[in-house]
Amino acid sequence: MQFKDTILQRKSTRAYLDIPVEAEKIQKILDLARHAPSGVNTQPWQVAVVRGNTKQLLDEQLEQAFRTGRKTELDYQYYPTQWTEPYKSRRKACGLKMYSALNITREDKQRQKDQWAANYRAFEAPVALFFFVDAMAEKGTFLDYGMFLQSVMLAAVDQGLATCPQAALAEYPDIVKQHLGYDQDTVLICGMALGYEDTSAAVNSYRTEREDYTAFTRFFD
């Protein structure tokens, strides 16, 4: 596969086949991703590969926290506290694309809630990856982590697998850390679903729009 095709094939996949992911493929993905750049070669990433019974129990705890209305508390502020344009419109369009693909109307609050709850099960993917960093991390470390996460996702495509990076899996960090045995003072960056895409699922049928490079680029000679 050409690199261009790898970039274009990657997408946020929200439905997976009930097929286990081979351990060898997971190892290859992480072995490639470890070559991502980081400031002064700090290599700040810590990855938990969660499968099987451990994942099932964690899924249940996270979904229960959501279903019972427990307030979410990420270890850091992910989204802006106040949305402005053009980001507000892009956010809205993203949600509408998904709900439209699933034929979920604005009035159907229960189906909306059920669809959101799927986040906490990593969309039934057989593998959930959780990404941690030491509490000392600053903004530069988050930049490094972004390059590592992209490397993981592209390496997954190369292995014939699909992913979905998920902030939702980091919304109850205390539950995740306790279940997996991580110190509570570590920072949970995000989670990621990993598995084989269910290409027949309606939720995987749409793609979000991307701005042309001319919309965000200025050339200086």
Sheet holding 162-166, edge to edge: 46-50, 127-133, 187-195, 162-166
Domains of the chain: 3-206 (3.40.109.10)
Residue 164 is encoded by which pair of tokens? 């979905």
Task: Quick: pLDDT tens for 168-204.
Answer: 999 999 999 999 999 999 999 999 999 999 999 999 9
Query: Is the pTM for the entire model greater than 0.85?
Result: yes
3 state SS of 185: coil
Burial class (CB in 10 A: 0-12, 13-18, 19+), 144: buried
Task: Quick: pLDDT tens for 82-131.
Answer: 999 999 999 999 999 999 999 999 899 999 999 999 999 999 999 999 99
